[in-house]
Amino acid sequence: MDIIRTIWIVNFFFFLLVLIFLWSKLYLVSRKITELSQTIKKFDEFKEVAPAEPESQKKAPKPNPQGSR
């Protein structure tokens, strides 16, 4: 009977170690997702502050005074 009890205790602690390992991996993935979403948000804010010049407002290229080459 003591052997079965010992096996259950060892099994329980092994299960706890597996849960702690999985929790730590999920925590790391969660942190990476948070960092990535913050980076994307900052990039979007930067695009709003300094928008690209629209095509209609771009200047036409100057003609070459020496002729086309």
Q: Where are the domains of the chain?
A: 22-48
pLDDT tens, residue by residue, 26-39 = 999 999 999 999 99
The helix/strand/coil state of 40 is helix
Predicted TM-score (pTM) of this structure = 0.54
Res 20 pLDDT > 90: yes
Phi first, then psi, for residue 32 (nearest 5°) are -65, -40
Phi, psi values for residue 48, rounded to 5°:
-70, -35
Residues 25, 21, 16, 8, CA torsion sign = positive
